[in-house]
Amino acid sequence: DAGITQSPRHKVTETGTPVTLRCHQTENHRYMYWYRQDPGHGLRLIHYSYGVKDTDKGEVSDGYSVSRSKTEDFLLTLESATSSQTSVYFCAISGTVVGADTQYFGPGTRLTVL
Amino acid sequence: TQLLEQSPQFLSIQEGENLTVYCNSSSVFSSLQWYRQEPGEGPVLLVTVVTGGEVKKLKRLTFQFGDARKDSSLHITAAQPGDTGLYLCAGVRGSYIPTFGRGTSLIVHP
């Protein structure tokens, strides 16, 4: 299994509070991604990174920010959590562009915003 | 509008039956991937198809990429309870960022 961990695995928070989710990899892969998964919507890309300090927006980036100061860590921040951000969040990594390489997913973080 | 439409959304069958899951789009993809996800875990890549008309087999699973590279199918022969899970297709275009379908939830009863 690819070395990807996510923390925390579960979190319950209140509306308006900031939340940071962490993705850590030990594979030295260049690309890292944050997705959210909701019933009826499948996986939707929030943000991705193609290198240290190089990030870009995905399909559903509003209300989220990311940072990547080291190859191994990719942080997802909800500046002011809302109930609509209740979801399961997955981090993924790939060594090269996705079409040519496997994308490995972490175990997920279940976030509940009350 | 969903770029990739998967059907059926849900499938409940008995062990030993055959099934096919479809992934359709009006867009052309450079490659298409199929993932399987078990409850409480992240998706795991099963296969990547890159050539129009390509057929790949993985034991009892057969994957096909349409000639026009707009659609794909996953066929499972003699399904087993261990095949239970969420099957996701993902299309990759020029940006190399995959777009996922909504998934097909499969339950195989013993």
For the cut 90, the answer to whether the pLDDT of residue B94 exceeds it is no
What pLDDT was estimated at residue A40?
80
pLDDT tens column, A58-98: 989 999 999 999 999 999 999 999 999 999 999 999 876 55
Q: B76 near B16, Cβ under 8 Å?
A: no
A82's tokens: 């809302």
What pLDDT was estimated at residue A39?
86
Amino acid at site B88: L
| Surface of A (43-72) touching B: CB under 8 A | 43-45, 48, 58-59
What pLDDT was estimated at residue A64?
97
| Surface of B (64-93) touching A: CB under 8 A | 88, 90, 92
Q: B96 near A97, Cβ under 8 Å?
A: yes
Q: CB B11: neighbour CB atoms within 10 A?
A: 18
For the cut 60, the answer to whether the pLDDT of residue A112 exceeds it is yes
Identify the three-state secondary structure at position A48: strand
* Contact at CB, B50 and A99, closer than 8 angstroms: yes
Average pLDDT on A34-53 reads: 92
pLDDT class of A42 with cuts at 50, 70, 90? confident
Q: Which of B72, B71, B70, B61 is nearest to B106 (CA)?
A: B61
Question: Which residue on chain A is closest to B51 by alpha carbon?
Answer: A99
Identify the DSSP state of A102.
P
Cα pseudo-dihedral A92, A96, A99, A105, rounded to 10: -10
Q: Rounded CA gap, B45 and A101, in Å? A: 10
